[in-house]
Amino acid sequence: MIRTRVLRPNAAALAAAAKILRAGGLVAFPTETVYGLGARAYDASAARRVYKAKGRPADNPLIVHISDEAMLEDVVRQVPPLARKLMDAFWPGPLTLVLEKSARVPGAVTAGGLTVAVRCPGHPAARALIRALGEPIAAPSANLSGRPSPTTAAHVLRDLRGRVALILDGGSCRKGLESTIVDARGRRPVVLRPGTLTGETIARAAGVPLAAPGRAAPAAPGTRHRHYAPSCRVILAPPALVRRGALAGLGDIGTGLVHRTPWPGRRPAYARRVRGGVGAYAAALFSALRDAEAAGVQTLYVETVPDRGIGRAVMDRLRRAALL
């Protein structure tokens, strides 16, 4: 078993993390979306260690993280005009672009596909780590496969203690949901996974409407399997039922509730009310799922939100968490 250290991302910790990565090891690091479990993107053996540490299905590709656009040249074959426009608008930030991969990116990173998912993260510690290494980092979320994504270093430690050498503790992730993934190879953007950067915002920046994913759409990270699920059963609860206190069994010891609207009835064993708009709900969601699990909840009711804007990303995660 590996000894796992947790360090703040200062100069010494970043140098230690880069040394681990160069040796083929794994490092968890913060981004503005969720924490990532990183390996050298050009090292196929290291990428396979990421899959093993997470228990990740082999057909689920990784995202390649870069520190600046200059690093992109070795990752992709070309940068189409649409991709350039979106990069200029949203990088660094929570946008992942799917492009044709270069020969340097191993198939272990792309799940054998000919495309690569790549982004420039908005968190300064993430970019500092990539600069310290001097090359891209391949990283999915730093959790066991299928579990809620981690938004704090403590979440990472709970899942991956003994599986990762170092966790860089950059505090809580500001966005709280994974990046929006866009296929940017054509003339119109195709959203493959919704995120806090909405499709409407992407279309405005692109200057053209979104296109729907076709049958030949490339595999995108985090879209093919059950994800984001705590050990307890997740049931989606419409806001009207929450407001009326009409959810059966909420007084029982084994139930919990994550909600935005007032709850007038008897309190369940665990209750987490998230105040603010849908963006605040998105940022708190994974933490709330993990807290309910830690409280011993067996059945968790989670209030739904309108399936538009950021709410589209929230509902994508909730549907996958509730999938039986």
Mean pLDDT score, 233-242: 92
Q: How far is CA 25 from CA 108, 128, 158, 164, 165, in A?
A: 15, 18, 19, 8, 7
Residue corresponding to tokens 């039986």: 324
> Is pLDDT of 194 > 80?
yes
- The torsion defined by the Cα of 315, 119, 59 and 167, in degrees rounded to 10, comes to -90
Rounded to whole angstroms, what are the CA distances from 221 to 68, 144, 303?
A: 21, 15, 26
All domains of the chain in start order, with CATH: 5-206 (3.90.870.10), 233-322 (3.40.50.11030)
Q: Which residues contact 100 (CB under 8 A, 6 or more apart)?
A: 76, 77, 78, 114, 115, 116, 185
Please give the biggest Cα pair distance in the chain. Answer: 60
Query: Is the per-residue pLDDT at 119 higher than 70?
Result: yes
Residues 6+ apart with CB under 8 A from 228: 146, 147, 148, 149, 286, 289, 317, 318, 320, 321
Which of 64, 163, 157, 154 has its CA nearest to residue 115?
64
Confidence of residue 224 (pLDDT cuts 50, 70, 90): low
Q: How far is CA 178 from CA 18, 29, 34, 40, 233, in A?
A: 24, 14, 6, 20, 22
d(C-alpha 251, C-alpha 267), whole Å: 6
Average per-residue pLDDT for the chain: 94
Q: Is the CB of residue 151 less than 8 Å from the CB of residue 173?
A: yes
Those residues whose C-beta lies under 8 Å from the C-beta of residue 185, and which sit 6 or more positions away, are 80, 82, 83, 98, 99, 100, 115
pLDDT given for residue 220 in this prediction: 74
Contact 117, 83 (CB under 8 A): no
Q: Measuring CA to CA, which residue among 71, 122, 136, 125 is closest to residue 92?
A: 122
Residue with tokens 């990088």: 91
* Tens-digit pLDDT profile for residues 56-73: 999 999 999 999 999 999
> Residue 268 — very low, low, confident or very high, per pLDDT cuts 50/70/90?
confident
Helices (H), the chain: 11-22, 44-54, 81-90, 107-110, 124-133, 153-160, 199-206, 239-244, 278-294, 310-322
* pTM listed for this prediction: 0.96
| Alpha-carbon radius of gyration of the chain | 19
Identity (one letter) of the amino acid at 205? A
What is the rounded CA–CA span in Å between residue 297 and residue 172? 23
pLDDT at 103 over 70: yes
- pLDDT bin (cut points 50, 70, 90) of residue 265 is confident
